[in-house]
A and B are shown apart, each in its own frame.
Chain A
Amino acid sequence: MSTTTHPVPVPLPADDGAGRRLYWAVADCWTIVRRDLTHLVKQPSLVAWQLGFPIVSVLLFVYVFGSAMEVGEGVSYKDYAMPGMFAMTMAFGFMNTAMAVVVDKERGVTDRFRAMPMASSAVVTGRGVSDVLHAALDLAVMAAIALVVGWRPDDGLFPALAAFALLLLLRFALIWVGVLLGLLAKNQESAGNLFAVAFPFGMISSVFTPPSLMPDWLGTLAMWNPVSATANAVRDLFGNPVPGGGSWIEEHALLMAVVWPLALTAVFLPLAVRRFQRLGR
């Protein structure tokens, strides 16, 4: 049954030392990203499903509710709602992150990675990079649909690119929320329940209606929602109408569209990393 020869057909790769460590941290991250990108390529229907909600929302709000929506004097609702839709899609993206994390955890893939000599940071950084790439794809598809239904960014190319960068920054910040929730969730079902949290988080904001039209307390909540800051900042950069409530937070949307994501990252990135390390407890 057994012999005394040791199995050594594969020499151990030389991957020690600070420089090699850094190289492999990046290389391992890229390996994980390639895996996630392969998933996208092989499951186009999944991408379509994830885009389904914003696309249906675009059509509903522009063609069904749009005619009844009055957000300001001479303001086209389409121009108001479209940047909001972009921001909402970025905000809801954390659920995709959480779901991917919980699926890997449930199927034992995370444990397999953790029992391998790869850079353990790559599991988290790889998720981050591929989610940002995925979000960029989502935005491209949505922007194309928005252009088809008649939305136009009016302030030129560079402000528009800056707007997309801010949208991706919000998505990036929420990746860590998604990773944390995915690690905390027991299973896919409980991760699915996150929508109950995400829905009001996305909606109680300036995405579809100006907070100034809401009851005072709710309006304040909506104004301070990070999604509102990003939505208003990108409206400004796209040259689309911005709700003019006149409050400090609304006047400083551009600033807050940077500050909020950085603050979220500062809080949730360490929490997510800590939670990941504590899987061994």
Chain B
Amino acid sequence: MAAAPKFAKTHEWIRLDDDGLATVGISAYAVEALTDLVFMQLPDLGRAVQAGESIGEIESVKAVSDFYAPVSGEVVEVNAALPGNLETLGQDPYGAGWLVRLRPTAPADLASLLDQAAYDALVKSQPH
């Protein structure tokens, strides 16, 4: 069974799967804050990314936002169906709304990210 997701402070989630790859998406909180998504750009396959590096952009009616690699690794899969079905992000951000799959350079780096409780606390502390 896949591990529980961990979270970056920049609102991406990442889950280490049984095959050793990591699936990355955007938290429900972040998707809800963006509202009315209109366009998304995903990274190229095979791209080597560093933790914290921008790996794509998403545009809502009012805002263009980057999303970032929670850990370093290689992009081995992208959710190519997502840009044409952006509503999926809002409907199922932790499932069908995944963004990319990475082959982590150092899977142990996931341990330094936030667990669900710590991320929930971060979200609660966000200014409103």
Q: Do A and B bind each other?
A: no
| A positions within 8 Å CB-CB of B | none
| B positions within 8 Å CB-CB of A | none
